[in-house]
Structure 1
Amino acid sequence: MSLLPPTEKTMFGQPRALATLFFTEMWERFSYYGMRAILVLYLVAPPDGMTPPGGGLGFSTPDAVAIYGTYSSLVYLLPLVGGWVADRLTGPRRSVLYGGITIAVGHFIMAVPIEAMFWSGLLIIAMGTGLLKPCVSAMVGDLYAPDDTRRDGGFSIFYMGINLGALLAPFIIGTVGQDVNWHLGFALAGVGMLIGLAQYIAGWKGLGDVGKAVPNPASPAEKRKAGFQTLFVIVAVAVVFLADHFIFGGFDVADLTILFTIVVLGIAVFYFIRLFRQPNLTAIDKSRLRAFLYLFLAAVVFWAIYDQGGSTINLFAEKFTNTDLGPFTIPVSWLQSINPIFIIIFAPIFAAMWTKLANRAPSTPMKFAIALFGVGISFLIMVPAAMQAENSEKSAVWWIVAVFLTQTWSELLLSPNGLSVTTKLAPAGLLSQMLAVWFLATAVGDSVGGQLVRLIDVVGWTGYFIVCGIGTVILGGLFLLVVPKLKKLMDGVR
């Protein structure tokens, strides 16, 4: 049932409380995507830069992309912890507040021009995102009864808010970061998060009981156990880094990011085993969890390709793409706004289409299959541009526009519907943790994608786009074959 009062006010047919969550997520994504637009550029910038925006960290392209993928993966991995905290300790509403504060602090730490502060800020931002991200989505789900036909449309509108923040951020943070100072750009990301926190607090009462309750409170013994486990992880990580520094003379980016990828894959396997072993699961719960596992694997493949837009495609644009429009040269970071522009254009169209089609719309598994085809084709579109690059020619920016357009249509088939179906498939009392597992698919995909890019050194840019594109299309075809089975496993959930 919905946690809003029966007399709740509506706006354009949707609960008015959706606006509070819409803008909270919009400003959080503004901070995230703004920093992301300049992150990989800062990582590869030479450290001795004397003119604006100043020096970067001077990493090679493969290492920079691997770091980017590892950070992106961590951002979506830590919601596993954040989901547990919300479900067992704080409730989703307070987790969003604490997470937003932590994110803002992380961005302001990154604004200090000291390398150690940069790495510390990245980690703190990831921790804050882990608290905030799964809980906002869970609260959106609580605005609706399970059979409310407005539900998918509401999630699509919410998803448009994410992309409104992503649209504005590169123009503001990207411009300041690239043309003025990298660290000032990081600070602006923190300001954006503070704005989001202010409006979230202002809309607190209008949320009713949404997100207030702790769904499955932890016992004192469980709290102590969680505290010891947290301490163990902190000590273990510290030991690894100290040993690497003092015994091996410093960390190797390639080795650490590969190790991280292996750890993330192991966490995914462990977490699904744990989900299936939860007590009090009904036969229907277990059937739906099996269906969710298939959707999870499809999402991993999707994000491994899609999220290279901020790393591989971003660096390709910087090195090999002509971004001149007449006398004006478009900053490379601005290209990160292309996808959100398309999302804002097409999200209302997709939302209206799903609402109008209702039960005649394609099932969620079918949408996932089509999304895999689409994201695979998006990389095949890059093949002509890569061939030009390997002939020492600058490719037209329209190839990248076409990539983002294709990925946008694919994203709208998978991401908002994935969020929505996760809230429907989640067993009672496990909603926040299930949403955290959904975001874990992005963590696994981003980490794997960060390692895939090393193939460029083996097969070149053209070969890389061909291998990834064709491979993803083939996997989409295989997923299409299991769609009928998944519809049965989902037991009435579309």
Structure 2
Amino acid sequence: MDTKISTDFYKSNVLGQRSGLFVLFFTEMWERFSFYGMRVLLIQFLTAAVIAGDPLKSGWAWTAEEAGALYGTYAMMLYLTPIFGGIIADKYIGSRMAVIIGAIIMTIGHAAMAFDTTVMFFIGLACLVIGTGFFKPNMPSILGEMYKDLPEKKDGAYTIFYMGVNAGAFFGMMLCGYVAETQGWHWGFGLAGIFMLLGTLQFAFAKPLMGNLGIISKDKDVVAAKAAEDKDKRNPFTNLDYILITIVGVIGFLYAFNDPLSKNGIIDLFSSLDTSFLRGQYIMIIIALIIFIYMLVSRILRYDKVVRDRMFAVVLLAFFLIFFFMSFEQGATSLVLVARDYIDRTLEGSALLTFNIVNGLLTIVPLAIISWVLIKLAVTTWSKIALSNVILITCFLIIWGAALWMLSEEFSKDASEITVSWFSTLNSFFIIALASTVSKLWESKYNPSAAFKYGFGLVLVAIGFLVLGLGSMGISEGVKISMAFLVITYLFHTLGELFISPVGLSYVSKLVPGRMLAFMFGIWYLAIAIAQKLAAVLGGQVETIQKEYSLSHFFFLFTAIPLAAGILVMLLNPIIKKLMHGIK
């Protein structure tokens, strides 16, 4: 891609960083606002009861298992389509156009979900999956290109960008969740779409500031160098590799769609393979997994010892990543249902006043800080991208209006029930509050090895579920759990995320040779996709386990799984360090 940037780009700075960073910051913020605003509603909407005479607040009354199967497929696809989106951007359309195309498709998806029809709902989900495939891998790509000549500022730029991600998630879940739960589901879906549209326009109209960032170069020397790189035939994929990848891909996609279809009684593509102890679709997945492991190992074994060992280290870390996300992502499925059905969310009197004051500060203070950043950006770049800034200001006027309306509604009540979606905002809030503190650990003499970072992260997630398990022990019918237990659970889960998520991709880039980087990043995202599906499928069992055993049994199951994985990865530390051959 062409790395020439306009002179204005270099001259205009905000808070010591290039002003273009904040264009990306706000674009990503509104996209995450829309994405998480919709995501926090999905399981609630699917499992909500049908309310006669009130279609706006009626759900589809699915079971947790049925809803988990659909959500799992949706979440799985969100991590698979970016693999293809990144390839298309690199080879054909460039990162900037990919972002715009992805954002437009996602806007259409959010708009479709605002309509109260089944067909439009599924069209909306499909658009969100496809749009995310174009959008997700290419925003970080543009950011990396933006700071290619300024590596000393790159860490700070990514930190600011990461804050934009979490700010968007925080406000999206809070405001879309509140609107949906008080005014009707499709109002919440619609609000997500409004910000996706405005975020798209803001990015598109910022073109004069961004120069040629994210645009594929037509310079003959650059094209020739890229072509030479693409013709690198060292350890090429064989015809057998392509055949095995195709087989695994076909089985995987058929399973992903068969799972929700079969659990909703529509069709089961693998029913002829069912046995008395295992469903046909799971037999096919086991076969696909064996084929995939054979293909992956045979591919890695073609390299020399050091490269081979380092890639096996990445595969081991990706394996344990599955256990982390399988547990952590209960926040999008089972913990949403737990917050709705089993947590005491009712407040009144001084407790309500205290909550409203805290919630008001949590809303107003970060919104004021980000608005200040917006003003700094507008002052610096108004002459270059006035229309983009006008759209940004419009976004903030809407979000300020929605936030103040929400707070005034809550302060006017003598008694209130906290919205289910409010608990989901805790993860983003804790990340914003704790990220810098945890990151300082990586710069100190106490910086743990990769295996111990993963181990600590998994143990912290296990502790979070242990807290909920203890809080739910012995509760009788009609008695609910104190919300303090769920708040503490989200705190431990966020600490676990901070130990694992930010460092994972960093290890891939350090350990894998350039010619295998795209393939191994694909493996990494595949591991997360598998974990997302497992998380939703297992989370869908919360109602079944609660009825047959108890709610605490469900939480103790998710205490045991990450705890065992955490202990195992720490025991494997000497082996993983040896495989890394000196990479820190």
Q: TM-score, normalised by structure 1?
A: 0.83
Q: Which residue of 2 aligns with 1:407?
A: 493
Q: Which residue of 1 aligns with 2:562?
A: 472
Q: Which moved more, 1:63-72 or 1:281-290?
A: 281-290
Structure 1 unaligned blocks of 5 or more? none
Equivalent residue runs for 1:49-448 within 5 Å: 49-51=52-54, 53-143=56-146, 148=151, 151-204=154-207, 206-207=209-210, 210-213=213-216, 250-251=266-267, 259=281, 266=288, 270=292, 273=295, 277=299, 284-326=306-348, 327-354=415-442, 356-357=443-444, 361-428=447-514, 431=517, 434-448=520-534
SS at match of 1:184: helix
Higher relative contact order structure (alpha carbons within 8 Å, sequence separation ≥ 6)? 1
Q: Which residue of 1 aligns with 2:551?
A: 461
8 Å Cα contact 1:47/1:58 also seen in 2:
yes
Equivalent residue runs for 1:7-18 within 5 Å: 8=10, 12=15, 16-18=19-21
8 Å Cα contact 1:155/1:416 also seen in 2:
no
Amino acid at match of 1:47: V
> Are residues 199 and 325 of structure 1, via their aligned partners in 2, closer, same or farther at CA, if it must alter by over 3 Å?
same
CA–CA distance in structure 1, aligned partners of residues 86 and 282 of structure 2:
21
SS at match of 1:328: strand
8 Å Cα contact 2:77/2:129 also seen in 1:
yes
> Are residues 275 and 474 of structure 1, via their aligned partners in 2, closer, same or farther at CA, if it must alter by over 3 Å?
closer
8 Å Cα contact 2:180/2:189 also seen in 1:
yes
Q: Which moved more, 1:286-295 or 1:453-462?
A: 453-462
Task: State the 1:296 CA deviation.
Answer: 1.0
CA–CA distance in structure 2, aligned partners of residues 430 and 346 of structure 1:
34
Task: State the 1:339 CA deviation.
Answer: 1.0
Q: Which moved more, 1:375-384 or 1:454-463?
A: 454-463
> Are residues 425 and 20 of structure 1, via their aligned partners in 2, closer, same or farther at CA, if it must alter by over 3 Å?
farther
> Are residues 268 and 122 of structure 1, via their aligned partners in 2, closer, same or farther at CA, if it must alter by over 3 Å?
farther
Task: State the 1:405 CA deviation.
Answer: 0.5
Structure 2 unaligned blocks of 5 or more? 218-225, 232-236, 349-414
Q: Which residue of 2 aligns with 1:22?
A: 25
CA–CA distance in structure 2, aligned partners of residues 262 and 459 of structure 1:
30
Q: Which moved more, 1:482-491 or 1:261-270?
A: 261-270
Task: State the 1:490 CA deviation.
Answer: 3.2
Amino acid at match of 2:435: A
Q: Which moved more, 1:384-393 or 1:409-418?
A: 384-393
CA–CA distance in structure 1, aligned partners of residues 111 and 466 of structure 2:
39
CA–CA distance in structure 2, aligned partners of residues 272 and 207 of structure 1:
45
CA–CA distance in structure 1, aligned partners of residues 555 and 454 of structure 2:
21
> Are residues 416 and 18 of structure 1, via their aligned partners in 2, closer, same or farther at CA, if it must alter by over 3 Å?
farther
- Residues 125-154 of structure 1: per-residue CA shift (max 9 Å, x gap): 011112211222334444556995655554
- Aligned pairs, how many? 479
Task: State the 1:4 CA deviation.
Answer: 7.7
Amino acid at match of 1:471: I
CA–CA distance in structure 2, aligned partners of residues 45 and 113 of structure 1:
14
Task: State the 1:66 CA deviation.
Answer: 2.6
Task: State the 1:295 CA deviation.
Answer: 1.6
CA–CA distance in structure 2, aligned partners of residues 260 and 124 of structure 1:
28
Task: State the 1:42 CA deviation.
Answer: 0.5
Task: State the 1:123 CA deviation.
Answer: 1.6
Higher Cα Rg: structure 1 or 2? Answer: 2
- Residues 254-287 of structure 1: per-residue CA shift (max 9 Å, x gap): 9899949965994797399369738996765433
Task: State the 1:472 CA deviation.
Answer: 1.1
Q: Which moved more, 1:452-461 or 1:78-87?
A: 452-461
Task: State the 1:460 CA deviation.
Answer: 3.1
Q: Which residue of 1 aligns with 2:398?
A: none
Amino acid at match of 1:486: I
SS at match of 2:473: helix
CA–CA distance in structure 1, aligned partners of residues 128 and 265 of structure 2:
28
8 Å Cα contact 2:177/2:421 also seen in 1:
yes
8 Å Cα contact 1:151/1:420 also seen in 2:
no
SS at match of 2:564: helix
Amino acid at match of 2:527: A
Amino acid at match of 1:304: M
> Are residues 176 and 449 of structure 1, via their aligned partners in 2, closer, same or farther at CA, if it must alter by over 3 Å?
same
Task: State the 1:394 CA deviation.
Answer: 0.9
Amino acid at match of 2:109: G
8 Å Cα contact 1:137/1:435 also seen in 2:
no
8 Å Cα contact 2:467/2:489 also seen in 1:
yes
8 Å Cα contact 1:152/1:420 also seen in 2:
no
Does 1:449 find its partner at 2:535? Answer: yes
CA–CA distance in structure 1, aligned partners of residues 174 and 167 of structure 2:
12
- Residues 174-220 of structure 1: per-residue CA shift (max 9 Å, x gap): 1221211212211221222122222322444555565434867989x
Q: TM-score, normalised by structure 2?
A: 0.71
Amino acid at match of 2:490: F
CA–CA distance in structure 1, aligned partners of residues 282 and 206 of structure 2:
39
SS at match of 2:62: coil
> Are residues 475 and 151 of structure 1, via their aligned partners in 2, closer, same or farther at CA, if it must alter by over 3 Å?
farther
Amino acid at match of 1:251: I
Task: State the 1:384 CA deviation.
Answer: 2.3
CA–CA distance in structure 1, aligned partners of residues 122 and 116 of structure 2:
11
Amino acid at match of 1:60: T
Task: State the 1:450 CA deviation.
Answer: 1.9
8 Å Cα contact 2:323/2:561 also seen in 1:
no
Q: Which moved more, 1:261-270 or 1:434-443?
A: 261-270
